[in-house]
């Protein structure tokens, strides 16, 4: 795998800063803990004892270094969220939160949407997000008729927590000419009841009625569920999203769904020097030929914004029951989900990307979809061997033990989201039966020698790495249920590695990110206590006090970030 090519000069003349604290976890295996580290501009110039760092400082400058003693706290490298959707997160932050912390049943969801509708000008859509139907008291999706009570004269859209669809009101169907006679689009569904009437639920490509044909690329290149807003609104959304990531201690993001829209917004933010976090972009697979035509045959960019690879979809989501189970779901034998590609066509796409050295990242959940992905990568590697290709499988929910062994042999990196089983682990069991207990089998990856990477998939889950780490260590769901056997859990240290140095590796950025080591970027987080020594069930409650990027504090818990102030103003207006 090619490493990032950067084009920027190193700073000179910076006064060194000596950073110390009670506990410093460097995540560098040659020196896992340290008493202090030395910053020179945006880089780490030394790591070790206070005396060692002072000696390096003396050799770099005639000036005595500034000393920042953070006291009885824990410092870790900046968290890296290797799979997230920042623009979508920014959009959700101005929608109505209908998640489990806000609503336990459908009447409460309707009440939240009604209250919001009263403050939204007539004609503008009402949008909510975050419900997981199996966690509701009714154990089902709301219907269009229930959303009709929110508004009958404008669009109402309630997105499912999976992000792969949701429910609309009757007006939305009428506006777009959707009736019970409308055929399902390829790769999506308008759901119907026993009388063949529309329920209001829709998934995947059926969301075209909301996003427009440019929103969901099923051809078969997978979904893009970002609803179009004015460019200036998208810039605002990305701005508040990065503040949200920083509040969780995230300093680098792998954007796993970049279309031309996102690409343009990132370029504008970079041009205006508005990127506070690092973004590694994965272009949606319908842009593969464009990337090849432009000569993007490897990672390219600078330390703040870079192109990392190509994102594919193999199947749908377990949360929305669109992951591909050809024999049907235990919870509903009539549902099978779908593959986004015929296996031969997908294999050719992977071959084409791999042939020029591009990293691929494929969303795959079911064993059938995973088989298609692993087989295609094995075939590409056989044709052009590369011991460090680092092809990724996103989510990688239910691999078989045999598939995990093949992933280890092929050097395939799974990128998992423990918050998924925290939020709806019971629902996966309901969907597919007992095998659902193995959902995200992180412990099995470790046993097989497969590096573990964990991320949020924000906005599907909040970008809160400490919550993800706790879920990975305990496998206890939001409802207090322990999911699966002990061997599926991982230790707190491995989980911390999974959100720092391992995440840097899957992005191809371990040379400059992921640990506190000589020559790396000065990205770090100040935590109120130590996630490696506190009780596992309390890790998520650890407070993020400060988040630093390039040696500059970009977030403090004592101050409301500017971006969050602006979104509150936006919502209130």
Which range marks the domain in which residue 313 is found? 231-556
DSSP label of 564: H
| CATH number reported for the structural domain that contains residue 151 in this entry | 3.10.310.70
Is 362 found in the same domain as 302?
Answer: yes
Q: Please state, for a pLDDT cut of 70, what percent of the chain lies above it.
A: 92
**Mean pLDDT in residue range 430-442:** 91
In a domain, 27, yes or no: no
**Mean pLDDT in residue range 79-84:** 98
**Mean pLDDT in residue range 415-429:** 91
Query: Cα separation of 288 and 5, whole Å?
Result: 20
Number of H helices, E strands in the chain: 18, 24
Is 207 found in the same domain as 236?
Answer: no
Instruction: Give the Å distances, CA to CA, from 59 to 45, 68, 520.
Output: 11, 19, 19
Tokens of 501: 């140095």
Number of domains in the chain: 2
Position 44 scores a pLDDT of: 97
Position 562 scores a pLDDT of: 43
Position 480 scores a pLDDT of: 93
Q: Half-sphere exposure of residue 79, counting CA atoms within 13 Å on the CB side?
A: 30
Is 246 found in the same domain as 206?
Answer: no
Is 273 found in the same domain as 199?
Answer: no
60-72 confidence digits (pLDDT tens): 988 889 999 999 9
Position 481 scores a pLDDT of: 93
Is 447 found in the same domain as 351?
Answer: yes
pLDDT category of residue 503 using cuts at 50, 70 and 90: very high
Which has the higher per-residue pLDDT, 223 or 349? 349
**Mean pLDDT in residue range 426-447:** 92
List the one residue out of 533, 517, 516 whose CA is nearest residue 525: 516
335-349 confidence digits (pLDDT tens): 898 898 999 999 999
Is 280 found in the same domain as 201?
Answer: no
Is 252 found in the same domain as 206?
Answer: no
440-465 confidence digits (pLDDT tens): 999 999 999 999 999 999 999 999 99
User: Per-residue pLDDT for 229 more than 90?
Assistant: no
Lowest average pLDDT, out of 194-203, 279-288, 332-341, goes to 332-341
143-194 confidence digits (pLDDT tens): 999 999 999 999 999 998 887 889 999 999 999 999 999 999 877 889 999 9
Is 467 found in the same domain as 541?
Answer: yes
In a domain, 562, yes or no: no
3-23 confidence digits (pLDDT tens): 554 434 344 346 899 999 999
Helix-strand-coil split of the chain, %, nearest 5: 35, 20, 45
Going across the sheet that includes 544-549, the strands are 23-24, 74-77, 524-527, 544-549, 552-556
Q: Please state, for a pLDDT cut of 90, what percent of the chain lies above it.
A: 75
User: Per-residue pLDDT for 50 more than 60?
Assistant: yes
Which H or E run contains 239?
A: helix 231-247
Is 207 found in the same domain as 244?
Answer: no
Position 224 scores a pLDDT of: 57
Q: Is the whole-model pTM more than 0.85?
A: yes
């Amino acid at each position: 795998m090619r490493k990032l090519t950067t084009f920027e000069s190193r700073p000179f003349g910076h006064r060194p800063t000596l950073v110390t604290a009670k506990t410093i976890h460097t995540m560098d295996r040659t020196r896992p803990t340290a008493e202090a580290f030395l910053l020179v501009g945006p880089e780490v110039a030394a790591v070790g004892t206070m005396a060692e760092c002072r000696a390096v400082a003396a050799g770099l400058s005639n000036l005595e270094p500034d000393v920042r003693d953070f006291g009885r706290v824990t410092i870790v490298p900046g968290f890296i969220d290797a799979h997230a959707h920042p623009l979508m997160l920014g959009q959700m932050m101005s929608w109505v939160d209908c998640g489990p912390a806000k609503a336990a049943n459908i009447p409460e969801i309707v009440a939240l949407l009604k209250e919001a509708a009263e403050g939204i000008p007539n004609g503008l859509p009402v949008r909510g997000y975050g419900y997981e139907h199996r966690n509701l008291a009714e154990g089902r999706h709301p219907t269009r008729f229930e959303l009709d009570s929110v508004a009958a004269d404008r669009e109402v859209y309630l997105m499912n927590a999976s992000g792969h669809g949701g429910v609309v009101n009757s007006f939305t169907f009428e506006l777009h000419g959707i009736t019970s006679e409308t055929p399902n689009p390829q790769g999506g569904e308008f759901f119907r009841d026993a009388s063949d009437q529309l329920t209001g639920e829709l998934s995947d490509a059926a969301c075209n009625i909301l996003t427009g044909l440019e929103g969901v690329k099923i051809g078969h290149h997978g979904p893009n569920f970002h609803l179009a807003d004015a460019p200036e609104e998208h810039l605002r959304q990305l701005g508040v999203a990065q503040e949200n990531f920083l509040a969780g201690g995230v300093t680098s993001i792998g954007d796993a769904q970049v279309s031309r829209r996102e690409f343009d917004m990132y370029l504008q933010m970079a041009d205006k020097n508005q990127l506070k976090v690092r973004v590694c972009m994965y272009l949606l697979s319908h842009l593969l030929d464009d990337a090849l035509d432009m000569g993007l045959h490897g990672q390219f960019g600078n330390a703040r914004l870079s192109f990392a690879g190509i994102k594919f979809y193999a199947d749908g989501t377990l949360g929305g029951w669109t992951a591909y189970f050809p024999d049907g779901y235990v919870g509903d034998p009539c549902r099978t989900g779908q593959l986004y590609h015929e296996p031969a066509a997908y294999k050719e796409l992977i071959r084409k990307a791999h042939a020029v050295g591009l990293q691929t990242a494929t969303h795959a959940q079911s064993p059938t979809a995973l088989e298609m992905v692993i087989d295609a990568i094995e075939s590409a590697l056989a044709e052009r061997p590369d011991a460090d290709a680092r092809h990724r499988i996103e989510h990688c929910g239910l691999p078989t033990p045999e598939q995990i062994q093949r992933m280890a042999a092929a050097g395939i990196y799974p990128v998992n989201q423990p918050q998924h089983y925290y939020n709806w682990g019971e629902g996966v069991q309901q969907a597919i039966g007992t095998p659902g207990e193995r959902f995200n089998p992180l412990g099995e990856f470790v046993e097989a020698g497969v590096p573990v990477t964990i991320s949020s998939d924000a906005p599907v889950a909040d970008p809160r790495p400490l919550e993800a780490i706790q879920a990975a260590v305990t496998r206890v769901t939001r409802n207090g249920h322990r999911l699966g056997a002990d061997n599926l859990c991982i230790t707190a240290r491995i989980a911390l590695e999974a959100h720092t140095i391992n995440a840097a590796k899957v992005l191809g950025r371990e040379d400059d990110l992921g640990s506190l080591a000589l020559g790396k970027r000065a990205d770090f987080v100040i935590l109120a206590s130590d996630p490696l020594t506190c009780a596992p069930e309390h890790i998520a409650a650890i407070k993020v006090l400060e988040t630093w990027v390039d040696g500059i504090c970009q977030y403090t818990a004592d101050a409301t970030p500017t971006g969050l102030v602006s979104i509150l103003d936006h919502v209130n207006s």
